[in-house]
Amino acid sequence: MQKILTGNTRVKGENMRAASLPLSTHNNERIPPRDRLLAVAADLFYRQGIRAVGVEAIAEAAGTNKMTLYRHFPSKDELVAECLRQVAREGVERWQRYEAAHPGDPRAQIHAWLTEMAGIVTDGNHRGCALANAAIELPDRTHPARRVVEEYKLAQRKHLAQLCRDAGLHEPELLADELYLLLEGARVTAQSIGNVGLGARLLRMAEAMIAAHQAP
């Protein structure tokens, strides 16, 4: 089996990831180890895959060790679930930002969402939705992480449908599904095919869909 370089060739006690990662684990001073572990784990899980990342690598990347990790999380599975819970939290915060930026204007909120997502998809480091990826990587439906994924995805679709309804668009649920599936598909496909021009295409397609649901 092909192994991925884990980069744990760092000198003992030193942190080599300071310059290479957006995650600033080099200023460990005041961030409690639990938060460092969560942030680092979420990042590693997303970029390398959940099963591909060992707990030792997570602890090391967070500037701590395995024992501290297991003092804060009962198991790797629970750590995974907690990471996804954080990702889901960021997702609902995004919607709250749209609402704050465009209060009472659901159309503008949808548009803001589409625009931001188009940008995210176009990013070269994008690897799809962390929650959807987790569902694919963890086929066991009893895994604690699966509940997080299912709840978040349902809430996401429900919120989008409500926005479509509030915007007075026809067949709001159907439109919400169209938009949601289109975007989800774009996030998956971007990994296999690439994402040149995908962002702009995505916006055009979404706008056409919304327009189709605007006329009676």
The nearest distance, CB 68 to DNA, in angstroms, is: 4
Rounding to the nearest 10 degrees, give the CA dihedral for residues 166, 169, 172, 178. Answer: -130
**Residue reference for tokens 């024992």:** 67
Q: Which is nearer to DNA, 14 or 93 (CB)?
A: 14
- Partner touching 133 among DNA, its own copies, none, CB below 5 to 8 Å by kind: its own copies
Site string for DNA, 51-90 (x = CB under 7 A): --xxxxx-----xxxxxx-xxx--xxx-------------
- Partner touching 47 among DNA, its own copies, none, CB below 5 to 8 Å by kind: its own copies
Q: Which is nearer to its own copies, 44 or 163 (CB)?
A: 44
The closest alpha carbon to 168, from 111, 115, 213, belongs to 213
Q: How far apart are CA 138 and CA 134, in angstroms?
A: 6
- Partner touching 53 among its own copies, DNA, none, CB below 5 to 8 Å by kind: DNA
The nearest distance, CB 85 to its own copies, in angstroms, is: 15
- Partner touching 192 among DNA, its own copies, none, CB below 5 to 8 Å by kind: its own copies
The closest alpha carbon to 41, from 11, 15, 64, 9, belongs to 64
The nearest distance, CB 111 to its own copies, in angstroms, is: 18
Contacts of 93 by beta carbon, 8 Å cutoff, 6+ apart: none
Our finding on whether 13 is near DNA (CB under 7 A) is yes
Sequence-ordered alpha helix ranges (H) in 32-129: 33-48, 55-61, 66-72, 76-101, 106-122
